[in-house]
Amino acid sequence: MISRSLALHGGLIALLCVLQFVLPAYHHGNLARIMVLATYAGAYNIMFGYTGLLSLGHALFFAAGMYGMGLAMQHGGLSPAPAMAVGLLAGLAVSAVLGVLALRTAGVAFMIVTLMFAQAGYLAILYFGNWTRGDEGFVIQQAERALAGIDLSDPTNRYFAALVLFALGMGLTLRLVRSRFGRVLVAIRENEERTRMLGYDVFAHKLGAVILSGTLSAVAGAAYGLLFGYVGATFGAVQYSIFPLLWVLLGGAGTVIGPFLGTLFMFYLIDLSSGITSAYMLVAGVALVLLTLFAPQGLAGEIRARLWRWLP
C-alpha cells in the first residue's frame, strides 16, 4: 500500500520534473503557477478534507505569508530567504490566533467567523496603504528575487522552485495522513464526539490542523509573491478563500493528490474557455455543476471509490 502510494506521488513529481524540459513556455509558466496554488489547495485540504473544518477565510493565511515576505523585503530590506521565514512566521502567528478564537465555534458559525477574519485582514491591507500600497500592491524587483544565488525570475529556476515547494507540501501531507496525529484528525472529521470520548483532546488536534494548514498556506503565499514578483491585495480578497475550496472539492477532498488535480483542472478550464468565449465563467460554472452532480467526491475521490481504495 505504501509502495503504491509512493509510486503514484513520486511518479507525479517525476512527471512534473520531466515536463519542465518538454512543455512550451506558456504552459511551463502556467504549471509553475499551478504547483504553487496546488500547494495552497493542499494546505486547505489538511483542514477541510482531513479534519472536516470548512474555512471560508484561507486568503488571510495566503496573504499573511505573501505580505509577511513582501513587506519584510520592501520595508525591512531583508533578502528572500529570511523574508520567506517572516512569511512563514506571519502565517503561524495568524493561524494560531485565528484557530484559538474561531474553534470556539463549529459548523456554519465557524465558516462565518473565518470569513469575517479574512475580510478584516483584507481591509487591513487596504487601510495600511502607506505600507502595502493598497489595491495596487507592489512589485518585487527582479534583481531582488535571488535565493542563495539562484535567480527566481528565470522560468526554469522558478519552475523548479515551485516543484520543490509542491513536493514538500505533498510529502508533508503524505506523512501527516499516516501519522497518529493525522489519523485523529480523520477521526474528528468522521465523528468528533466519539473521538473525544476515546480520550483525545479534540480542540488541541483541531488547533494543530489549523496552524499546520494556515502556515503551509502562508508559505505558498510567500512563494507565490516571491516567484512571480508581485504582492497585491487581491490575494487577500474573498475569491482567494473560495478558490482553494473549489480546487479541493473538484480534485477530491481528503486525498493527497486531489488538490493538484483540482487546481490543474480549474486553471485550464478557465484558461481554455476564456480563449473561446468571453462568457468563460459560464463554462466553468456548468463544468462545476456537472462535476458536483456526477462526481460528488471530486476527481481523486471518485478514483478512490471506484478503482484504488488504497489512495491516501
| Closest distance of CB 180 from other proteins, Å | 6
Angle at 169 between CA 22 and CA 155, to 5 degrees: 35
Window contacting other proteins (CB under 8 A); options: 36-44, 64-72, 161-169, 199-207: 199-207
Position 193 contacts other proteins (CB under 8 A) = yes
Q: Is the dihedral of CA 65, 67, 73, 75 positive or negative?
A: negative
Q: Contact at 8 Å (CB) between 131 and 71?
A: yes
| Closest distance of CB 55 from other proteins, Å | 21
Window contacting other proteins (CB under 8 A); options: 128-136, 196-204, 213-221, 269-277: 196-204
Residue from 4, 75, 194, 306 in contact with other proteins (CB under 8 A):
194
CB closer to other proteins out of 160 and 200: 200
Largest CA distance in the chain: 56
Residue from 187, 245, 248, 295 in contact with other proteins (CB under 8 A):
187
Q: Site residues for other proteins, window 201-240 (CB under 8 A)?
A: 201-202
Using the 8-state DSSP alphabet, how is residue 278 labeled? S
Window contacting other proteins (CB under 8 A); options: 67-75, 160-168, 193-201, 245-253: 193-201
Quick one: which H or E segment has residue 151?
Answer: strand 150-151
Position 184 contacts other proteins (CB under 8 A) = yes
Position 181 contacts other proteins (CB under 8 A) = no
Position 196 contacts other proteins (CB under 8 A) = yes
Residue from 105, 141, 142, 191 in contact with other proteins (CB under 8 A):
191
Rounded Cα distance, 159 and 237, in Å: 26
Residue from 28, 172, 200, 246 in contact with other proteins (CB under 8 A):
200
Grid cell in block for residue 217: 498556506
Position 198 contacts other proteins (CB under 8 A) = yes
Grid cell in block for residue 252: 477530491
Q: Contact at 8 Å (CB) between 59 and 118?
A: yes
The answer for residues whose C-beta is within 8 angstroms of residue 172's C-beta and 6 or more apart is: 216
Site string for other proteins, 276-295 (x = CB under 8 A): --------------------
Position 195 contacts other proteins (CB under 8 A) = yes
Q: Contact at 8 Å (CB) between 64 and 94?
A: yes
Rounded Cα distance, 197 and 8, in Å: 36
Kindly tell me the number of DSSP H helices and DSSP E strands found in the chain. 14, 4
Residue from 4, 104, 183, 306 in contact with other proteins (CB under 8 A):
183
Using the 8-state DSSP alphabet, how is residue 141 labeled? P
Residue from 135, 136, 151, 190 in contact with other proteins (CB under 8 A):
190
Residue from 24, 77, 107, 199 in contact with other proteins (CB under 8 A):
199
| Closest distance of CB 136 from other proteins, Å | 47
Grid cell in block for residue 275: 480563449
How many CB atoms are located within 10 Å of the residue 285 CB?
11
CB closer to other proteins out of 88 and 187: 187
Q: Contact at 8 Å (CB) between 298 and 252?
A: yes
Position 186 contacts other proteins (CB under 8 A) = yes
Which residues bind to other proteins, rule: CB under 8 A? 180, 183-184, 186-187, 190-191, 193-202
